Amino acid sequence: MSEIAACTLIQEEPDRKTERYMMMFKDYPDVVSVDILQEMLGICRKNAYLLVKQNKIHSARVGRSYKIPKLCVVEYLIDQNRQLGGMRLSNSLAPSLQNTPESSKLMMPK
């Protein structure tokens, strides 16, 4: 199974998966680059590459760049949400969390 297919949201009920997918990052393309990942999460380039290289966010390497399904970014955030004890994720996630204490926990890879 490829890393992209390993996203657990793909294995959920179609209605629930579709609901989560449609709510978060609706203005972004279905497959993003590391530069767009930075913007989505409000993190620096180094941290974006760390998340991808440590396989915390599933991706596919195409040539010299990474292609990251938006679905896997959503999955990462939902997993981080569970680890933080259920902090509510909003539709405009990145701007609303940039200046909160939770943002450092949410955005930093372990």
Complete DSSP assignment for 58-85: --EEETTEEEEEHHHHHHHHHHHHHHTT
Is the confidence at residue 23, as pLDDT, over 50? yes
Q: Six-digit token pair at 2?
A: 């490829």
Q: Six-digit token pair at 61?
A: 């390497």
Specify the pairing of strand 31-32 against strand 60-62. unpaired
Summarize pLDDT for 45-66 with one digit per residue, the tens.
Answer: 999 999 999 999 999 999 999 9
Q: Is the pTM of this model over 0.85?
A: no
Summarize pLDDT for 61-110 with one digit per residue, the tens.
Answer: 999 999 999 989 988 988 887 887 765 555 444 444 444 444 444 454 44
CA distance 62 to 44: 22
Is the confidence at residue 8, as pLDDT, over 90? no
Percent of the chain with pLDDT over 90: 42
Which strands, in side-by-side order, build the sheet including 60-62?
A: 31-32, 65-69, 60-62
